[in-house]
Copies of this chain bind each other. A is one copy, B any other.
Amino acid sequence: MADAGTEIETLIELMAKLPGLGPRSARRAVLHLVKKRGVLLMPLAEAMAEVGRTIRECLNCGNLATGDICPICESEKRANGQICVVEDVADLWAMERAQVFTGRYHVLGGTLSALDGTGPEELRIPQLRDRIAAEDVREVILALGATIDGQTTAHYIADELGESVSVTSLAQGVPVGGELDYLDDGTITAALSARKAL
């Protein structure tokens, strides 16, 4: 396709495997990289190699870490008796950006899914039970997606943990700044049934 040889074609093929990039946008991205060799291509190659060398999963919670244990699990300040359960690291980052949760996390690495054949043993659910006692946890906050799989997973975890700990879930409702007009029926239904007195 590109007559600049196999180096460019290899790079385009790999870039096209990134989420959100198809063949066309991969080609555009590669041309941009070649134009910005010094300020973007080489720094990006080095940053990727560095992440590949140093980043792994926290053995305790599944967050990304440069050592065995991530900074959040290492921080005694975050041991406040609360664990927030999220599906993946992107959700953990979203919670951290909100700067409202001060406890620790537990990253499941997915949700239960009959369709994909994802059972409890594929997720980090047994480790969650171990952490309840080890970290003196009082409350497990389930911050899972409002999808069928997310809610199935939430109920499964609540059943598994039983009476050992208080299990809560993020409230469902109208997003801040959200216009009713753009919301799906499920969100409006959830928001109505969870309505509060002013």
- Quickly give the copy total for this chain: 2
- Whether B11 pairs with A90 at a CB distance below 8 angstroms is no
A45 touches B41 (CB 8 A): no
Q: A64's contact among B2, B41, B72, by CB below 8 Å, is which?
A: B2
Docked pose: A89 CA to B30 CA in angstroms: 11
* A27 interface residue per 8 A CB criterion: yes
Q: Is there contact, CB below 8 Å, between B55 and A3?
A: no
Contact of A27 among B11, B70, B93 (CB under 8 A): B93
Contact for A14 among B43, B63, B96, CB less than 8 A = B43
Q: What is the CB-to-nearest-CB distance from A53 to chain B, in angstroms, rounded to a whole number?
A: 9
Select which of B3, B47, B92 is within 8 A of A96 by beta carbon.
Answer: B3
- Bitwise, A1-29 to B at CB < 8 A (1) or not (0) is 11111011011001101111100010111
- Pairwise interchain contact A19-B28, C-beta atoms closer than 8 A: yes
Q: Which of B7, B32, B45, B71 contacts A19, CB < 8 Å?
A: B32
Which 6 pairs between the two chains have the least Cβ-Cβ distance?
Answer: A4-B64, A45-B48, A45-B49, A11-B47, A20-B25, A14-B44
Interface of A toward B, CB cutoff 8 Å? 1-5, 7-8, 10-11, 14-15, 17-21, 25, 27-34, 36-37, 40-52, 54-55, 63-66, 70-72, 88-90, 92-93, 96-97
Task: Show 7 residue pairs from A and B whose CB-CB distance is below 8 angstroms, ordered by the A residue.
Answer: A4-B64, A7-B50, A7-B51, A18-B29, A19-B25, A27-B90, A34-B55
